[in-house]
Amino acid sequence: MIFGALAALSAVALSLPANAQEEKECDLDVDFAVHVGYQGSFLKDFTAYPGATRSLHSGVRVGVDADFEVYEYKGFEFGVRPGVFFSQKGEAYTKTADKALSYDLNYLDIPVTLRVSREVADDLDVIANFGPYIGIGLYGKNGTGSSSKEKHDSFGKDGELRRIDSGLNASLGLRYDDFLLTVGGQYGFVNQLKDTKTLTGSPKNVNFFVMVGYEF
């Protein structure tokens, strides 16, 4: 449904009248960018360790994306921006004397967003992105103690979390010349819990990120 809505919006944009050429222009232009930054996250609606105090899980977010510019109207540029990112998510808890509780989850995120941008000064653009993403769990460690032997792959055969995630991705950024600064977040729609025998809740990935990048 989400992908269908994006396709419909793109079709509407491309079908707008082409008169007044000085204000409107339809052209396909492709740019590529690399990004790296900080990501904070937690698992919404999860009760893995009742009584433990949650704290923000910190990780990295690094990846590449492509910007397909397809339409320009009165100074606004519209495009589609697919990408691939290595994304560290999860949840952390306050450490106790004998336990270091955490979910360290590593994903491959694939966002496909609609991009709208506008130049606000010489070589300075404001950029907004919004659209769906798919996340693929690569490996996740659930630490219930100080020993590494007490950890297991959260996505594996004996793991408690689903490997596939999806939801919405949104960001706002600045582009100065070829340099990018992006602030954004993701909200997952998929209940990640597959093992309900010992755990309760309906955990969903929620995160925010701050990244710097360079566009080619």
- Percent pLDDT > 70 in the chain is 80
pLDDT, average across residues 153-162: 87
Residue 119 contacts residue 125 (beta carbons within 8 Å): yes
More confident call, 102 vs 39: 39
CA atoms within 13 A on the CB side of 16: 17
Q: Answer yes or no: is pLDDT of 26 > 70.
A: no
pLDDT digits 0-9 by tens, 99-146: 667 889 999 999 999 999 999 999 999 999 999 999 999 999 886 555
Confidence of residue 23 (pLDDT cuts 50, 70, 90): very low
pLDDT 10s digits, 174-198: 999 999 999 999 999 999 998 777 7
The residue type found at 77 is E
- pTM equals 0.83
Residue with tokens 């996740």: 140
**Phi, psi for 3 (deg, rounded to 5):** -65, -35
Statement: residue 1 has pLDDT above 80: no
**Phi/psi-derived region of residue 50, left when phi > 0, alpha when psi is between -120 and 50, beta in every other case:** beta
- Rg (the chain; Cα; Å): 20
Query: Between residues 24 and 107, which one has the greater pLDDT?
Result: 107
Average pLDDT (149-176) is 89
- The answer to whether 84 and 108 have CB atoms below 8 angstroms apart is yes
Q: Is it the case that residue 59 has pLDDT exceeding 60?
A: yes
Q: Count CB neighbours of 3 within 10 A.
A: 10
